[in-house]
Amino acid sequence: MNAMPEQRMADPQWRVAVVDALPLFGEALALAVGAWPQGRLAVQATDADAYMRACAENGHIHLALVDLHLPGRDGLELLRWMARHQPRTRALLIAHAPTPLQVRQALQAGARGVLHRAVSREGVLLALDHLCTVGFHYNELVSHALRRQVREEGERQQPHRVWDSLTPREREFLRCYAAPGMERLAEVARRMGISRHTSESFRKHVVRKTGIRHRAELVRWVLENGLGA
């Protein structure tokens, strides 16, 4: 029989952490965890450093509810730290009106789901149930972010549509950047008569719109699709 990818942990008492910068909301989350029969609150902290210290003293955390807007290291940074140092901890990110980009960033950082700060107690308990049974909480926030990502990736696969989305100056930059001998942005800036800082801004805009980060891939994209002529 094949093992399931996510198995219920042997310990029937799931140790839960609440890491939230707002004391009142942190207390509300703590009360919700206290009403959850599957586990208990093991750590409550208002920033990432306090959470790390508490873990060093209290041991492994099974589930974590992490505020996006923590002081110092924000919630995304804490999620990345947990992915490196606590890979068995299943974390949910909590944010006020999270954008699709923030949801995708959270998932990329290792979050097992994202909750709106206005979530009800029942919503928190349902998310905890999902974390301990299937290892992930799939809701409308996650669904919307993933649908948008698929749509954006599909649009990026249409080169002429992406090219049309660039401004005239961004197209000029890309033509220049893709030309032989233009490996350095300083050379591009000199050719275009702009500052090095402005050429870097153009590069960032082009990367964001095309989804292509490296110059060699951008050059190949321009040449293979007959763009920039």
Say if 14-149 and 158-224 have the same CATH topology. Answer: no
- What letter represents residue 27's amino acid? E
Could you tell me which residues come within 8 angstroms of residue 138 by beta carbon, excluding any fewer than 6 positions away?
A: 113, 130
- Which pLDDT value is given to residue 67? 97
- Which pLDDT value is given to residue 3? 41
Map out the domains of the chain as residue ranges: 14-149, 158-224
Going by C-alpha positions, the residue among 114, 115, 120 that lies closest to residue 28 is 120
Q: How many CB atoms lie under 10 A from the CB of residue 225?
A: 13
With contact defined as beta carbons under 8 Å apart, do 106 and 81 qualify?
Answer: no
- Which pLDDT value is given to residue 9? 45
Architecture category of domain 158-224 in CATH: Orthogonal Bundle (1.10)
Report, as an integer, the average pLDDT of 150-168.
72
As beta bridge partners, residue 114 has 93
Question: pLDDT at residue 152 above 80?
Answer: no
As beta bridge partners, residue 90 has 63
As beta bridge partners, residue 16 has 41, 63
What is the band of 1 on the pLDDT scale with cuts at 50, 70, 90? very low
Domain 14-149 class, CATH top level: alpha beta
Question: pLDDT at residue 155 above 80?
Answer: no
What is the average pLDDT score of the chain? 86
How large a percentage of the chain has pLDDT more than 70? Answer: 89
With contact defined as beta carbons under 8 Å apart, do 114 and 141 qualify?
Answer: yes
| Separation of alpha carbons 65 and 45, rounded Å | 10
70-127 pLDDT tens trace: 999 999 999 999 999 999 999 999 999 888 888 889 988 999 999 999 999 999 999 9
Per-residue tokens: 173: 């930059």
29-51 pLDDT tens trace: 999 999 999 999 999 999 999 99
The better pLDDT of the pair 134, 157 is held by 134
